[in-house]
Amino acid sequence: MDEKKPGSKARDGQTVTGVTRPTFVRLAASALCATILGGQASAQSKGQSMTDEKMERRKIPASGEELPVIGLGTWQGFDVGESAEERAPLAGVLDALFESGGSVIDSSPMYGAAEGVVGDLLVQKKTPREKAFIATKVWTRGRDAGIAQMRQSMKLLRVSRLDLMQVHNLVDWRVHLATLREWKREKRIRYLGVTHYDSSAYGELESIMRSEKLDFVQLNYALDDRAAEERLLPLAAERGIAVLVNRPFGGGGLLRRLRDRPLPSFAGEIGCESWGQFLLKFVLANPAVTCAIPGTGKPEHMRENARAGFGSFPDAAMRARMIKAIEA
């Protein structure tokens, strides 16, 4: 025999609370619908926040213009032939760069066919000019030779105005900086700078940074190659010079050595899912760094590298842990 509570009814379509069954069904359906819609809204909100997440951007001191912190170096990776098979992955690299919010593409006449490959792909893809920040270099001796080379670079890159022209490895820098200043006044280039890839040149590089008005300096800096921290990066901040970092993976040797080692357990605290991201996060932790330009010819590596530009960056304590993990 069913137990009945005072005042409850189990007949005539009524529940034990006195609410009719049709009404109960409507209320239950409404509650279920609200739960589903609420979950959808939560998921949509989460998806929207992921979509809205953007790569970190830092200012160029000379102008206040902001650059995404991860760019692309084209040495070796973009020195390929004209076949569609060779160039298809590189088109994917550019797609990955832009889709991640990056813009800086760095090249040089020293890099073989790279300038022409970049120019061809950007035109073929009908890339809006404002989407790419194109940087290249002058790498020769003499004023006339330098002008001829820079004109050729612009032709290969398919641009009438370059975002950044740099004196490659300080070759004949006095002569070329004078030309670059003229070109900047004439609006052929937007910014000028100098580069080097080795700490053996730091003395000369420091002298130039102190004596010349530069918009950019490009130098080597990595977790296992931290000499730039001592004088050059503080000097760049003091003098208002934007910094592009080449060789952020230690020239590739460090990344190769680490490849088969597991990431430290604390890597997830700064959003790192790979050694490449770990090394890039370390470089970007220095506020003097404007943009790191790791080179690659593989779209999947470009996407992985770009993720290092999202989320948080290591503080001093985390940087110490990262150094210790590598040295161990």
Predicted confidence (pLDDT) per residue in 248-300, tens digit: 999 768 898 898 899 999 999 999 999 999 999 999 999 999 999 999 999 99
pLDDT of residue 251: 73
**For the chain, domain boundaries:** 13-49, 56-327
Q: What is the mean pLDDT of residues 21-29?
A: 44
Whether 114 has a pLDDT exceeding 90, the answer reads yes
% of the chain with per-residue pLDDT over 70: 84
Q: Could you tell me the pLDDT band of residue 199, with boundaries at 50, 70 and 90? A: very high
Predicted TM-score of the model (pTM): 0.84
Whether 31 has a pLDDT exceeding 50, the answer reads no
pLDDT of residue 150: 98
Rg (CA), the chain: 28
Q: Could you tell me the pLDDT band of residue 13, with boundaries at 50, 70 and 90? A: very low
Q: Which CATH topology does 56-327 take?
A: TIM Barrel (3.20.20)
Query: How many of the other CB atoms lie within 10 Å of CB of 253?
Result: 13
Helical packing angle, 316-327 and 275-284, nearest 10°? 140
Length of the chain equals 328
Provide the token pair at 97: 């760069």
E strand map for 45-148: 57-59, 66-68, 72-73, 104-106, 133-138
Helix (H) or strand (E) holding 70: none
**CA 67, 69, 70: angle at the middle one, nearest 5?**
115
pLDDT of residue 52: 58
Helical packing angle, 173-185 and 143-157, nearest 10°? 50
Q: Could you tell me the pLDDT band of residue 44, with boundaries at 50, 70 and 90? A: very low
Provide the token pair at 273: 């899912």
